[in-house]
Amino acid sequence: MNPISDLIRNLADQHGRNRQNLLPILQGVVEQEKYLSEYSMIEIARELDLPASEVYGTATFYSFLEHKKMGRYIIRICKTITCSMKGKNQVQLAIQDMLKIGIGETTADGNFSLLQTNCLGFCHMAPAMLINNDMFTELTPEKVREILSVYMNKKKEGESNDNRLST
Amino acid sequence: MTTGYQLKRADFIFKNQNDWEEILSKNIIRNPQDLINDLISSELKGRGGAGFPTGLKWKLSAEAVNDTKYVICNADEGEPGTFKDREILSKVPFKVLTAMAVCGHVIGAKEGYIYLRGEYFFLRPELNKAISEFDYYCREINFDFTIRIFMGSGAYICGEETALFESMEGKRGEPRNKPPFPSSSGYMGKPTVINNVETLAHTYTIFKYGAKRFYDLGVQYSRGSKLFSVSGDTPKPGIYELELGMSLSDFVDEFGDGDTKAVQVGGASGFLVPRKRFGETVIGFQGKLTGISLPTGGSMMLFNSSRSMFNVLDNYLEFFREESCGQCTPCRVGCQQLLNGIKAVKRGEKNAMYLDKLLRLTETMQYTAKCGLGQSIANSFSSIVENFREEMIY
Amino acid sequence: MINITINNKAVQVEEGTTIFEAAKQNNVIIPHFCYMENVHQIGSCRICVVEVEGGKTLMASCVTEVKEGMVVHTNSDRVRSVRKVIYELMLSDHPKECLSCWRNQNCELQDLGNLIQITEFRYEGAKSKDIIDTSSPSIVRDSSKCILCRRCVTVCNDIQGVGLMNPHHRGFSTFIGPSEDELLGESVCTNCGQCVLVCPVGALKEKDSTSIVWDAIFDKTKTVVVQTAPAVRAALGEVFGYDPGTLVTGKMASALHELGFDYVFDTNFAADLTIMEEGSEFLGRVKDAFTSPEKAAVLPMITSCSPGWIKFIEHRYPGQLPHLSSCKSPHMMLGALTKSYFAEKMNIDPAKIFVVSVMPCTAKKFEITRPEMFSNGLADVDAVITTRELGRMIKDGGIDFRFLPDGEFDSPLGLSSGAADIFGTTGGVMEAALRTVYELVTGRELPTENFHIQPLSGLSRIKTADLKIENPLAEFSFLADVTVKVAVTSGLTGAAELLDEIKTGKSPYHFIEIMGCPGGCISGGGQPRPVNDAIRTKRLEAIYREDEGKALRKSHENEDVKMLYRDYLGIPLGHKSHELLHTIYIQRSKN
């Protein structure tokens, strides 16, 4: 049995098979797989009896529903005005330096992807970034290097699943 | 120079929520019409930025005839510089849940949703716990109202109410035509009250203390208090509850770093007020006060003299270009043209007169775009270009 | 009734009318672009905005309903100036290659420009994604010309229910099409071409076949045969300025001769032939159903002359394929016969015959590439050109269409009955079939006025009729007092509905006619633009006029068809028929 088909079927069982359940299902697949492959979108279309084109059209609208293969940890750094003013560029350079990737790229070992995003709602503690669902604020180049090291060690022990706000 | 509109602090929103069970049970047995009257006499207006009278909104949905109705809390806080809703949901979630339930009682809805932006996923565990507890209490007092969280996925435009409905219906978050309005046709085409997180928190205050207590704060046309998200060049970044109706110069006196060049009021879709206008600018809802009055979601970003207004405008236009849904011509193509346009002027590829063409373009967008996103780009564009024209060119 | 003021004129309109329609009813046409009456109404291009006193912003007139006391200005300074700006914005993202674009002088963007009269291009630069997709034999998509009006999305999703075209991504990067990187030729596209019909610009068009047809005409080694579908003669005139609903059969035949085609046949001949084959097939199944249940005859039987519909059922309802008649579509039959019966009769090498079909249809361009449409190693039909393409060829050939005398079709494949003509419109195939089937079964003529079956005519989405069989011939005694139930639909949402009924075992019908395009072939993907219900009705009426104007009204009385059976085919469904005139279908995937 294909694990993605199983995942999708379970998500559909959990949320329902109506059009209004599409977004939670797409989110569920991204949560686990980190992106929506062509196969998974067609499977979802089949499961919900929707044209594949509509599933694509809906998924590609939302920034967080990646449709290109992403790393295990997706870093989203805020580029809106206040974070920009408070040193986002230095932080971004530190990340790029450490991981050897640019914006929109994924590390060769498939662990990290670096993206930009818009206002994360922490302007008073700028600059801010998300790594998957975890929020990090008041970043500096040193701090971000520390944070990334923790993630790099994490992958050796196995994935940890804490959704928390770190400062 | 102040106009007599001083900065006054208030403290209602983040005051403890321990009495939520009492507030809930007391208010769900009151006559819906009384509750509506309370809201109307309090003159509470929406705190998300659009400023629609909350009492009227609930009244219209209550009057709509339909067996199915919905209450939706708009927690898709995405306006640059705004971070107050997150704080409300993490510190006093029960106020929001209670307010939603009371709204359900008033309009006749049995289901409520919190549309939570994807970026705030980390709030979910605590919020879910609160909802469980809330759910438990509702069952205890035999009140039929279920609240669920619906997650967004990274689209600022979904903060627009009709785009939010589209998103919840599993479609692209593209705004609908209005009319019809949400009070008659909202989520799934049913009558829906959709309120900002903070607005709901204020209704809690009103149900707890009565309309007068709320009305006594603020000034004419702009009653009550509001949360302000302060960031940028300020020694005191953070969230502050202040009465509406203060002058911007008082605000800057309190929160500026001594070198404030301009303040962006209301986020990227708001206005940039230059120093020379601080005195005559009042933070409120109606244009009848002296000088400019600005409706606002409460985002206040301060810029000192080290900041380039060109970079600021450039940043906003990048933001809008990325977040535009792309449905209507003026916004889809307009955002692109504005961004390319100011870059071209800065690079010297187009002469300064082109800025006037761009201003006309934003005016067109203001009158013809399908939703508030395209309509409000003119706000920051014109306020920045008109007040800081030199910085656009050199 | 609601009282409003438009441009200082007091008018009265019904409740629920949009400002646009209210204006139109009072002789004010508001410039508009994406709006298409009864088809597409989303208020996104914003060209049709008007000033409504008291409003904060301008309102899109195509989606805003009137309210009592509304004061509307459609041509104030503000409205006219914003319209110019919006039009310039559209142009800024559109290639300025009008002179080499195939929609030059036939383009709604140009028409709008004429109305709005801009004098400078103020905005330029950034252009949207540019994909030219030529993978499909029927339709070419050029996304650089797409103006994002979304009419194709509405037509493909809501009106046809195929769901291929959708907007993807967001903001300026929005593009309309099938899923990312998917090519039309590999997708569930049915090739119906309804999107091509509504596209206001050159972003969607039929694949050009005029050049290979010209080449064939001037190739002295080839015998070039042309045939025309019934729906073409009711619409071709529109290309030359005639009113919709003008029959130009005679001039069309003349023009084709003048263009240099060696033989001008009539697809209608094969339509009569189709009735013989399909009628016999139907009666065979009915007989089995009533008298030999162990043969498990599949009913209802569904017509198979619409290749758009065929591709649709192959993708969506592959389990129901046995319901389809095994008959090829009329033009394929005629092509197959041209390269066999006709070639033999005239002693021409079939490999040197080039068959061209003039069709109202874009799907037929796909149909001729199907591997089943080859007989004895030769393609039944070599090229399909649409009505629009024929119009262009006639102009390109310098032929002054309006002054042509009436010409004739050639024998032996040119004679047709009125029943064949009505193939071009929804309900026509069923009516034609019943004229013959009824007579075969009872020995009497169809007892309806003018041989028409009233409930089956008109533009309703699904139409049904009952036909009671009384006193049948002895051979068909099992049908005594049986009510034959038939259904007709055009457009693919109707098809899906009827197929769902069949799938769940609830279908009460014996015979179903399905045409892929709403209204039938008269509004096929290859017909002249514009198409709306008023024009469909006029074309429909023209077709019925052609039918009623003929002495020969029934397929089974066509002498040339009788001769064909006598001299060549033998009997309907005989061995030769099966070889040349019948086909099989393919199960395709859903996505």
User: Which residues of chain A does C163 touch, with a Cβ-Cβ cutoff of 8 Å?
Assistant: 50-51, 53-54
Confidence of residue A1 (pLDDT cuts 50, 70, 90): low
Considering only CB atoms, which chain A residues are within 8 Å of B264?
81
Q: Give a yes or no: residue A38 inside a domain.
A: yes
Contact between chains at C85 and B332 (C-beta distance less than 8 A)? no
Is C278 designated active site?
A: yes
Report the pLDDT value the prediction gives residue B4, as an integer from 0 to 100: 54
Q: Which residues in chain B (93-122) have CB-CB distances under 8 A to chain C? A: none
Instruction: Over range B355-367, report the average pLDDT.
Output: 94
Which candidate from C162, C170, C590 shows the least CB-CB separation from A46? C590
Query: How far, in Å, CA of C362 to CA of C366, rounded?
Result: 8
What's the structural domain count of chain B?
A: 2
Residues in A touching C188 (Cβ below 8 Å): 51
A93 lies in the same domain as A32: no
Told to judge if C207 belongs to the known catalytic residues of this protein, a careful annotator would answer no
Mean pLDDT score, B364-381: 94
Question: Residues B197, B335: one domain?
Answer: no
Domain coverage including residue A129: 73-166
Residue C296: CB atoms within 10 A of its CB come to 9
- State the architecture of C128-206 in CATH terms: 2-Layer Sandwich (3.30)
Instruction: Note the pLDDT of residue C182.
Output: 83
- Asked if residues C271 and C332 have their Cβ atoms less than 8 Å apart, the reply is no
User: What span, in angstroms and rounded, lies between the C-alpha atoms of C107 and C115?
Assistant: 13
Q: Work out the number of other CB atoms within 10 angstroms of the CB of residue C470.
A: 11
Are residues B314 and B194 located together in one domain of the fold? no
Q: Number of folded domains in chain A?
A: 2
Same domain, A79 and A161: yes
Residue C305 is among the residues annotated as catalytic for this protein: yes
Task: List chain A residues with CB under 8 Å of B312.
Answer: 81
* Residue B170 belongs to some domain of the structure: yes
Question: In terms of CATH, what superfamily is C278-326+416-521+546-581?
Answer: Fe-only Hydrogenase (Larger Subunit); Chain L, domain 3 (3.40.950.10)
pLDDT digits (tens, 9 = 90+) for C123-150: 777 777 788 999 999 999 999 999 999 9
Query: Is the domain of A54 the same as that of A77?
Result: no
B215, B244, B276: which is the final residue of a domain?
B215
Give me the CATH number covering residue B350: 1.20.1440.230
**In the CATH scheme, what is the code of domain C214-269+331-403?**
3.40.50.1780
Query: Is residue A14 located within the same domain as residue A55?
Result: yes
Instruction: Output the pLDDT for position C12.
Output: 95
Nearest to C163 among A42, A54, A60 (CB): A54
* pLDDT per position as a tens digit, C400-445: 999 999 999 998 888 999 999 999 999 999 999 999 999 999 999 9
pLDDT band at C117 (very low <50, low <70, confident <90, very high): confident
**Is C457 tagged catalytic?**
no
pLDDT, tens only, B264-290: 999 999 999 999 999 888 888 765 434
Asked if A51 lies within 8 A of C180 by C-beta distance, the reply is: no
Closest-CA residue of B relative to A66 is B153
- Cβ distance C174 to B366 less than 8 Å, yes or no, reads no
* Min Cα separation C169/chain B (Å): 9
Same domain, A85 and A126: yes
SS (H, E, C) chain B: CCCCCCCCECCCCCCCCCCHHHHHHHHCCCCHHHHHHHHHHHCCECCCCCCCEHHHHHHHHHHCCCCCCEEEEEECCCCCCCCHHHHHHHHCHHHHHHHHHHHHHHHCCCEEEEEECHHHHHHHHHHHHHHHHHHHHHHHCCCCCEEEEEECCCCHHHHCHHHHHHHHCCCCCCCCCCCCCCCCCCHHHCCEEEEEHHHHHHHHHHHHHCHHHHHCCEECCEECEEEEEEEECCCCCEEEEEECCCEHHHHHHHHCCCCEEEEEECHHHCEEEEHHHCCCCEECCCCCCCCCEECCCCEEEEEECCCCHHHHHHHHHHHHHHHCCCCCHHHHHHHHHHHHHHHHHHHCCCCCCHHHHHHHHHHHHHHHCCCHHHHHHHHHHHHHHHHCHHHHHC
Interface test with B, best of A17, A80, A89 (most B CBs within 10 A): A80
Is the domain of A77 the same as that of A157? yes
| C364 classed as catalytic | yes
Asked if residue A162 and residue A80 are part of one domain, the reply reads yes
User: Is residue A95 in a domain?
Assistant: yes
B177: confidence class by pLDDT, cuts 50, 70, 90: very high
Is C325 labeled as catalytic in the residue annotation?
Answer: yes
Which of B192, B215, B238 is a domain's end point? B215
- The one catalytic residue among C207, C311, C364, C365: C364
CA neighbor of C167 nearest in space, from A61, B371, B374, B335: A61
Confidence of residue B1 (pLDDT cuts 50, 70, 90): very low
From the list A23, A119, A133, the residue facing B170 with the nearest CB is A23
A neighbours by CB contacts (3+ pairs under 8 Å): B, C
> How far does the CA of residue B327 sit from the closest CA of chain A (Å)?
12
Residues A52 and A121 in one domain: no
What are the tokens at A25?
Answer: 């299902």
**A–C CB contacts, 8 A cutoff, strictly below:** 43
**Residues in chain C whose beta carbon is closer than 8 A to a beta carbon of chain A?**
157, 162-170, 178-180, 182, 188, 590-591
Residue C449 structure tokens? 């006025």
The pLDDT of B258-265, averaged and rounded, is 95
C96-105 CB contacts, 8 Å cutoff, 24+ apart? C101/C145, C101/C202, C102/C202, C102/C205, C102/C208, C103/C201, C103/C202, C103/C205
Give percent of chain A above pLDDT 70: 92
Contact check, Cβ <8 Å, B361/C85? yes
Is there a single domain that holds both residue A161 and residue A94? yes
Same domain? A140 vs A79: yes
- Chain A, residues 27-66, CB within 8 A of chain B, namely 27, 57-58, 61-65
Q: Indicate whether A67 belongs to any domain.
A: no
* 8 Å CB contact of B177 and C60: yes
- By DSSP bridging, strand A165-166 and strand A134-136 are parallel
Q: What is the pLDDT of residues C529-542, one digit of tens each?
A: 999 999 999 999 99
Question: For A99-152, how does the pLDDT look when each residue is reduced to its tens digit (9 = 90+)?
Answer: 999 999 999 999 999 999 999 999 999 999 999 999 999 999 999 999 999 999
Mark whether B81 and B186 lie in a shared domain.
Answer: yes
A118–B319 CB contact, under 8 Å = yes
Residue C180 binned pLDDT confidence (cut-offs 50, 70, 90):
confident
Residue B168 and residue A20: Cβ atoms within 8 Å? yes
Chain B residue with the nearest C-alpha to that of A19: B170
The pLDDT assigned to C223 comes to 95
Q: What's the confidence (pLDDT) of residue B297? A: 84
Rounded to the nearest integer, the mean pLDDT of chain A is 91
The rounded mean pLDDT for chain C is 93
pLDDT higher than threshold 50 for residue B2: no
Catalytic residue among C65, C88, C372, C497: C372
- Out of C195, C305, C327, C361, pick the active-site residue: C305
Q: How confident is the model at residue B49 (pLDDT cuts 50, 70, 90)?
A: confident
Residue B86 near residue B121 (C-beta atoms within 8 A): no
> Chain B contacts of C125, Cβ < 8 Å?
336-337, 340
Contacts of B231 in chain A (CB under 8 A): 82, 123-124, 126
Cβ of B336 under 8 Å from any chain C Cβ?
Answer: yes
CB contact under 8 A, B315 and A165: no
Give the pLDDT of residue A167.
Answer: 39
Higher per-residue confidence, B52 vs B290: B52
**Backbone CA torsion sign across A57, A60, A64, A66:** positive
Q: Is C122 on the interface with B (CB under 8 A)?
A: yes
Higher-pLDDT residue of B284 and C344 is C344
Residue A166 confidence (pLDDT): 45
The model's pTM is 0.93
Residue-number span of the structural domain to which B372 is assigned: 309-393
Inform me whether the C-beta atom of residue A42 falls under 8 Å from chain C C-beta atoms. Answer: yes
CATH architecture for segment(s) C2-92: Roll (3.10)
Of these residues, C521, C523, C538, C577, which one is catalytic? Answer: C521
Confidence of residue C450 (pLDDT cuts 50, 70, 90): confident
Q: Which of A59, A84, A105 is the last residue of a domain?
A: A59
Is residue A64 very low, low, confident or very high in pLDDT (cuts 50, 70, 90)?
A: very high
In a domain, B70, yes or no: yes
The rounded radius of gyration (Å) of the Cα atoms in chain C is 25
The domain boundary residue, chosen from B215, B243, B264: B215
A86 and A132 inside one domain: yes
Give me the interface pTM, i.e. the ipTM: 0.92
The verdict on B211 and B321 lying in the same domain is no
**Chain C residue numbers touching A51 (CB-CB < 8 A):** 157, 162-164, 166, 188, 591
Mutate to test the interface with C, among A43, A50, A53, A63 (most CBs of C within 10 A): A53
Same topology for domains C128-206 and C278-326+416-521+546-581, yes or no?
no
| B35 and B172, same domain (yes or no) | yes
Q: Which residues of A touch B118 (CB under 8 A)?
A: 27, 62, 64
User: CB atoms < 10 A from the CB of C351, how many?
Assistant: 12
State whether B119 and A117 contact (CB < 8 Å). Answer: yes
User: Does residue A8 sit in the same domain as residue A51?
Assistant: yes
Mean pLDDT of A81-100: 96
- The fraction of chain C above a pLDDT of 70, given in percent, is 100
* Residue C159 pLDDT: 94
Residue of C86, C170, C174 lying closest to B368 (CB–CB): C86
pLDDT tens for each residue of C58-113: 999 999 999 999 999 999 999 999 999 999 999 998 998 899 998 999 999 999 99
**Residue B208 belongs to domain with CATH number:** 3.40.50.11540
Domain boundaries, chain C: 2-92, 128-206, 214-269+331-403, 278-326+416-521+546-581
Query: Would the pLDDT of C269 be above 70?
Result: yes
CB contact under 8 A, A163 and B121: yes
Both B205 and B313 in one domain: the answer is no
Q: Which of C44, C93, C169 is facing B333, going by the closest CB pair?
A: C93
Half-sphere exposure of B67 (CA within 13 A, CB side): 0
Going by their DSSP bridges, the two strands A129-131 and A134-136 should be labelled as antiparallel
pLDDT in tens, B81-130: 999 999 999 999 999 999 999 999 999 999 999 999 999 999 999 999 99
Contact call for B321 and C172, based on CB within 8 A: yes
